[in-house]
Structure 1
Amino acid sequence: MDGSIDWYPTPDLDSTPSFARLLDADEGFMTLAPTAGFSVERRYADGSNVLETTYTTDTGTVRVTDSLNTGVAGRLPWGELARRVDGLTGSVEMAWSVAPGTCFGTASPWADSGPGGPILRVDAVALGIRGIDHGVKTASARSIDGAFTTSVGSRHLVAVVSTHGEPLPLPDPQTIDDGVDRTIRNWQAWSDSFAYDGDYRHAVLRSALTLKLLLHSPSGSIAAAATTSLPESAAGGKNWDYRYAWVRDTAYTLHALTRAGLREEVHAAASWMLKNLRSQGSDLEVFTRLNGEVPEGTDRPDLTGWRHIGPVVDGNPAAGQLQLGVFGDVFDIVWQYVQAGHVLDPATMRQLADLADLTCDIWRRRDAGMWELPEERHYVTSKLGCWNALRCAVLLVEHGQLQGPVERWEAERDRIRDWVQEQGWSEERQSYVWYPGSTDLDASILLHAMSGFDTGPRMSSTIDALRAELGAGPLLYRYSGMQEEEATFVACAYWMVSALVAVGRRDEAVDLMEELLPLANDVGIMSEMIDPDDLAFMGNLPQGLSHLALIVAALAISGKS
């Protein structure tokens, strides 16, 4: 709202950010705003990810259009952050500043001289400032500042062009300004191909556009979120880096985007994931870096954290965990891909047969569960992930897309079902429980109303138990005891919508959906968690899983799931 860009990793989403004031006051920013007091209205240009902010002061109004520019053929081979300023009424004094940080305490920024003016460098990142009537005033050793005054119909531009470890192009400023319009058209062309015509189309399209921003275009991978270390609790401690590609999130993404008619993203994500899996063999990674590499541990930079809530984490400690649900996610990806009319290659088919065989054995092991916990247990939804893997494997055989000992896969699939019905059900709670012998509840069971494991009275009763114990208004905590540790998990609430539809309680699902949609921010973006007391966002932002769950919920209500 204050016109400051406080988070900007470049060239890629998982790069160390040059602007990271989001996590520490000294870690860099780019600000552009009126010098006097103002009120703010924001919106995205229709069908796009280009943000329009209108500032109103006592002397006039201006519109700032923020665009991460794309090229004629898609992603530019450099970063191009354009901030266009249009004078609408009266006159407004504007000021701007570009001041990179230390890349998480690893480098010291400095200003270098270039043919078109100073260039800011920090580590291997080069930041060139280009503009139109932008009033460059000063260039210190570490920042560049400027100021100008708008008038009715005036046009101004401040842009940051960036590269990493390579030469820095300095496009003509007018070319950058033209690129803003091109980028809007590019997004609108993409939105026009978005085939969804069901309920809540505006919210679904905004969520799909948000997911598109999380897609790593060189590889096709999809980041779980765009940030790191935004806390799940005001008490701190539960701060994680989500700038990785989870197999689970990819599966949910394909479920949503396939049904919206988006072919290119579906193929890119599926083929990227399957290539990665072939390189991993049977040791499936729960998540990888956006370029497919295996994560290499974590660092804790010496930064204060968002609102002084630490720690700041670069990396994610869940790497290397055994999570049985990943087997179900892998097969779900493949099954959705085949359902969309595509054909598997022989190498993928051979690997999937091996994974199905492995699933028949490994499902009996304890694991860290979907929530990536340090305590390994026989989590019920982990077993259901294996059930879903074998269910999909059998379906792939029936569709001629897989060969293998299908009788074994069918038998083990049914054993898992029996185990869950016997070990995972509590007569006392009238609910599926988190793990055998416990009376604790786990909201991830809702995913298996959607998978079709159970859409009958037991699941309906479980829904009631979850809402009674884990509910906070329309929102839902992840599992028992989390009320004391973190905020509610947004995706769980939307899973509840889908589960209500699955068990035949559509009217309740619609009522819940209507309560949830206004909890997004002013431009339709959602975080990982929401504090039920004041509805403040918590956790990383934007959170892909939250937007995916919204899309799937809308599909369920519309009868398109």
Structure 2
Amino acid sequence: MGVRTGEVDLRSYGAIGDGRTVALIAADGGVDWLPVPNLASPPVFARLLDAENGGAIELAPVEPFTVTRRYVQGTNVLQTTFETASGAATVTDALVTGIAGRLPWVEIARRIEGVRGSVRFRWLVEPGSRLGTASPWIDETTHGPVIRVDGVTIAVRGLDHRPRRSGRGSIRGSFTTSRDSRHLLTIVGSADEPLHLPDAGNVDRGIDRTIDNWRLWSREFSYGGPWADAVQRSALALKLLIFSSTGAIAAAATTSLPESLVGGKNWDYRFAWVRDLAYTVTALTRFGLREETHAAVSWLLRTIRSNGPGLHVFYTLEGELPGGVQTHDVPGWKGIGPVVTGNPAGEQLQLGVYGDLFDVMRRYVEAGNVLDADTGRMLAGVADATCDAWQSKDHGMWELPDTQHYTSSKMGCWSALDNAVRLCDLGQIPGSATRWAAERDAIREWIEENCWSDERGAYVFYAGTDELDASVLLHAPSGFDRGERMSSTIDALRAELGAGPLLYRYSGAQSEEATFVSCAFWAASALACVGRTDEAVALMDELVGLANDVGLYAEMIDADSKDFLGNFPQALSHLALVNTAITIEELTRKPGRRTR
């Protein structure tokens, strides 16, 4: 055991979660990523980024094997069937949830059931150095050995799994399956608090309860349009990234997975972006998921008030301002560094965040909800601030080092004021919308004069350039432009930035990084908005086929190999799929037809 480097293709990973943290499991049974106790914590198991010392939970047959896997229908519980020359066995992996929600501790349960013949398995639980900051050791207690690493306590429990101590800080074991046999491997963990040691029978029942809990959630999910299976899987992937204790949604489950094979663009995405929350609320309201919608909106408003008066690009999952960036002395995935915790974009001015905030609030109100008086006054103040701020340069949606008059940022300010006028007309925010409407119209005039190129037949990246930026596609659904100029922009973008069905983010990105998954979905959505429905559907069909074998997406896809790059699973990728499917379904729905 332990010979695998951990540097498997990112497509190999499935994800499981419990509303508190996320584990990534490779097709060979290795749990190569698991922060404890929370998603944003330093990872106890991080072979994904540190092949030698990162730590992993291994479970695989001794002899050569082939693998098929799937999620249990309607759940985030992963099932992997291993077949060898001597037999077959199925492993069911769950981050176990409790009777009334997530457990107070982390509990990853791996149930191994014999299917036919016999299969000899070996397993290893080996916590790592928490990105080079700590050294695990084993303590012998009256209840058996526990592994300690920098305030985290890990214990191994199970059923007929034959554990034994192995080295300074790991525990291993082995067993052999037979037809209809059942074995159980359970890893529990907590940080800076006592650790509950579960009974094997309770854990076994807990796996079934977790399946039932996910299916109960899925039954509340309402979408009967095209690409329904992909949409539901994306909704389940997004549910993994919702931090249940606050309602925040993480941009991804990982840090430092590179956007380029030459390195350099490695960031921590375990934060909550206002932008992602805006797109999430669009999906949640459409699916009828009331609790998550309200939790997300409440978290956002509470967080803005706590960290005001300014509006920030993103926050921690707990609702605080992010700190600085720390670089860790570990090699990174496939040796591509740097490995960091933190993200420097928190200090940037990004004007698009104004549009994101007002999009959240308009959709929330239009879903049948009412704003409180304090929120209404706060939004009125933000609208006033937008009237002045839109004339400034910013770093743009892509968090670039250079400030410019980015076109999509101006469009975001237009959207903010357009929605502010709408909310005022609905009686949800106080004051007069006269100034907001006038400034909204001034923004449109400025964009049309400064950010459109007759020569390119497209909205450009920023004022004064002829370069292009795929993020302007977001403003077909926003309503800024659903006409000929947007249609022409789509063609220009696909001609310059396209790679088959995929798109790079902006001019020059081809030499820096892989294609950005979300951009391709945005193109499909924009095509539908400008009336090019057949093209939108054909593109969507291609993009849905680019997920991995269990329906997940990373941030980026290599145009040639179709390998994944960037953090994983990526909320923005799944949000783009979901909202594009919704947009196409709504624009092509026949009068009188209802979804389930």
Normalised by the shorter chain, which TM-score bucket?
over 0.9
Which residue pairs with 1:32 in the alignment? Answer: 59
- Say whether the 8 Å CA contact 2:50–2:131 is kept in structure 1: no
**Separation in 2, partners of 1:524, 1:560:** 25
- Using the alignment, how far apart are the partners of 1:293 and 1:489 within structure 2? 28
After superposition, the C-alpha distances for 1:17-63 in whole angstroms (9 at most, x for unaligned) are 00001001111000001011000001000100000000000000000
Residue 336 of structure 1 aligns with an amino acid whose one-letter code is R
The yes-or-no answer on 1:314 pairing with 2:303 is: no
TM-score of the aligned structures, taking structure 2 as reference length: 0.93
Q: Please, which of 546, 551, 575 is the counterpart of residue 519 of structure 1?
A: 546
Cα distance in 1, alignment partners of residues 585 and 474 from structure 2? 18
* Corresponding position of 1:546: 573
Q: Which residue of 2 aligns with 1:402?
A: 429
Q: C-alpha displacement at 1:115, in angstroms?
A: 3.2
1: CA distance between counterparts of 2:234 and 2:449?
A: 38
What do residues 281-303 of structure 1 show as CA deviations (whole Å, max 9, x unaligned)? 23211001100111111011000
**1:14 lines up with 2:22 in the alignment:** no
Matching residue of 2:182: 155
| Equivalent of 2:99 in 69, 72, 83 | 72
| 1:282–1:355 contact (8 Å) kept in structure 2 | no
- Structure 1 position 4 matched with structure 2 position 50: no
- Structure 2 counterpart of 1:17, which letter? P
The alpha-carbon deviation at position 257 of structure 1 amounts to 1.4
Q: For residues 155 and 178 of structure 1, what CA distance do their matches in structure 2 show?
A: 13
- Aligned residues: percent identity? 60
Find the aligned partners of 2:61 and 2:429 in 1 and give their Cα distance: 62
Q: How does 1:266-281 map to 2 (within 5 A)?
A: 266-281=293-308
C-alpha separation between the residues in 2 aligned to 1:422 and 1:124?
A: 58
**What does residue 158 of structure 2 align with?**
131
**1:474 partnered with 2:501:** yes
1:193 aligns with 2:225: no
Task: Determine the C-alpha separation between the residues in 2 that align with 1:473 and 1:243.
Answer: 30
Distance in 2, Cα, partners of 1:553 & 1:458: 20
Aligned equivalent of 1:47: 74
Determine which of 515, 518, 521 is the counterpart of 1:488.
Answer: 515
Shift in Å, 1:319: 1.2
Residues 280-289 or 171-180, more deviating: 280-289
Offset at 1:405? 3.0
Q: Which moved more, 1:78-87 or 1:400-409?
A: 400-409
Contact residue 36 and residue 57 of structure 1 kept, 8 A:
yes
Cα offset for 1:135? 1.1
Secondary structure of the corresponding residue to residue 48 of structure 2 = coil
Aligned mate of 1:335, from 337, 362, 382? 362
Aligned runs of 1:160-309 on 2, under 5 Å?
A: 160-309=187-336
Runs of 5+ consecutive residues of structure 2 not aligned to the other structure: 1-26, 589-596
Counterpart secondary structure, 2:335 = coil
Shift of 1:206: 0.2
Q: Which amino acid aligns with 1:11?
A: P
The CA distance in 1 between the partners of 2:141 and 2:292, in whole Å, is 39
Task: State the partner residue of 2:483.
Answer: 456
- The list of structure 1 runs, each at least 4 consecutive aligned residues, that deviate by more than 6 angstroms after superposition, is none
CA distance in 1, matches of 2:267, 2:50: 16
1:105 touches 1:302 (CA, 8 Å); kept in 2?
Answer: yes
> In the aligned structure 2, how far is the partner of 1:320 from the partner of 1:292?
16
Q: Within 1, Cα distance between the matches of 2:111 and 2:203?
A: 10
Matched, 1:383 2:383: no
- Does residue 555 (structure 1) correspond to residue 544 (structure 2)? The answer is no
2: CA distance, partners of 1:284 / 1:397: 20
- Shift of residue 279, structure 1, vs aligned partner: 1.8
Are the equivalent residues in 1 in contact too, given 2:65–2:84 (CA < 8 A)? yes
Q: Does the 8 Å CA contact 1:278/1:348 hold for their aligned counterparts?
A: no
Distance in 2 (CA, whole Å) between partners of 1:84 and 1:113 is: 26
2:307, 2:320 within 8 Å by CA — same for their partners in 1?
A: no
Amino acid across the alignment from 1:99: E
Offset of residue 560 of structure 1:
6.4
1:504-552 alpha-carbon deviations (Å, 9 max, x no partner): 0000001101111111000000000000011000000000000000001
Three-state SS of the structure 2 residue aligned to 1:238 is: coil
Aligned pairs for 1:39-118 within 5 A: 39-118=66-145
CA contact (8 A) 1:137 1:147 kept: no
Q: Report how far residue 280 of structure 1 moved.
A: 2.6
Partner of residue 444, structure 1 = 471
Give distance in 1, aligned partners of 2:198 and 2:214.
Answer: 22
The aligned amino acid for 2:192 is G
Letter of the structure 2 residue corresponding to residue 445 of structure 1: V
Cα deviation code 1:386-437 (max 9, x no counterpart): 1111111100011110112310011000000111111110011010001111
Secondary structure of the residue that 1:111 maps to in structure 2?
Answer: strand
User: CA contact under 8 A between 2:358 and 2:416: conserved in structure 1?
Assistant: yes
- Counterpart Cα distance in 1 of 2:255 and 2:305: 29
8 A Cα contact 1:259 1:560, kept in partner: no
Deviation at 1:340, TM superposition (A): 0.9
How far apart are the structure 1 equivalents of 2:447 and 2:162? 67
- Number of matched residues? 561
1:226 is paired with a residue of what secondary structure? Answer: coil
